[in-house]
């Protein structure tokens, strides 16, 4: 789906896409155009499927009136638990997709929608990887991927990476 980006549901760390240094001790943030030192603490994230109709009364009425045969709209939500007290929990929502109720867990019942669901999952996965998340396991459902990433030392001076490279 091109350049799709997930939407943060609440405030999380201001970390954008980027890459790790070769030694794995630094994170280059494309949005801020600088290196940040990594800490020994990690954030942990798991992807969940959320029924859009269940998040508000208006959404519930809209999806019920627009659906047939018990179908609804879901989205994948990446929920993170962070070590940094400024962001103990935060979440990112992916794009919506159709599915049979009560859950997209019944793969056989999803029919042609299964491909769309997997595309939405892959979109969210690509964004998470671009933001430094590393796959670390599986949960109970096909979409329940678990990820980890090191926390950033947000107080890193802007020239710290260059200084460490000169002294090495």
Q: If you average pLDDT over every residue of the chain, what do you get?
A: 83
Residue 37, SS3 per DSSP? strand
pLDDT > 90 fraction of the chain, expressed in percent and rounded: 54
d(CA 120, CA 40) in angstroms, rounded, equals 32
Enclosing H/E stretch for 80: strand 71-81
**Once rounded to an integer, what is the mean pLDDT over residues 51-72?**
59
Phi and psi, residue 110, nearest 5°: -80, -25
| Assessment of whether the complete model's pTM goes beyond 0.85 | no
Q: What is the pLDDT of residue 20?
A: 97
Band (pLDDT 50/70/90 cuts) for residue 108 is low
pLDDT > 70 fraction of the chain, expressed in percent and rounded: 77
Q: What is the pLDDT of residue 28?
A: 97
Band (pLDDT 50/70/90 cuts) for residue 99 is confident
Band (pLDDT 50/70/90 cuts) for residue 57 is low
Band (pLDDT 50/70/90 cuts) for residue 114 is confident
Q: What is the pLDDT of residue 109?
A: 52
Q: What is the pLDDT of residue 3?
A: 44
Q: Give the pairing of strands 89-100 and 26-29.
A: unpaired
Alpha helices (H) along the chain: 57-66, 107-110, 113-130, 160-167
**Once rounded to an integer, what is the mean pLDDT over residues 16-34?**
96
Where do we find the tokens 């980890």? 148
Band (pLDDT 50/70/90 cuts) for residue 51 is confident
């Amino acid at each position: 789906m091109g350049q799709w980006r997930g939407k943060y549901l609440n405030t999380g760390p201001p970390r954008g896409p980027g890459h790790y240094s070769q030694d794995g001790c630094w994170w280059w943030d494309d949005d801020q155009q600088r290196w940040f030192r990594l800490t020994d603490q990690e954030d942990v994230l798991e992807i969940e499927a959320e029924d859009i109709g269940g998040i508000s009364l208006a959404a519930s009425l809209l999806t019920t009136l627009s659906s047939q045969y018990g179908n609804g709209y879901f989205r994948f939500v990446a929920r993170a638990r962070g070590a940094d007290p400024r962001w103990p929990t935060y979440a990112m929502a992916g794009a919506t997709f159709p599915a049979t109720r009560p859950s997209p867990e019944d793969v056989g019942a999803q029919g042609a929608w299964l491909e769309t669901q997997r595309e939405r999952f892959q979109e969210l996965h690509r964004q998470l990887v671009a933001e430094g998340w590393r796959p670390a396991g599986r949960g109970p459902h096909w979409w329940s991927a678990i990820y980890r990433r090191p926390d950033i030392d947000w107080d890193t001076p802007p020239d710290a990476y260059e200084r460490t490279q000169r002294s090495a």
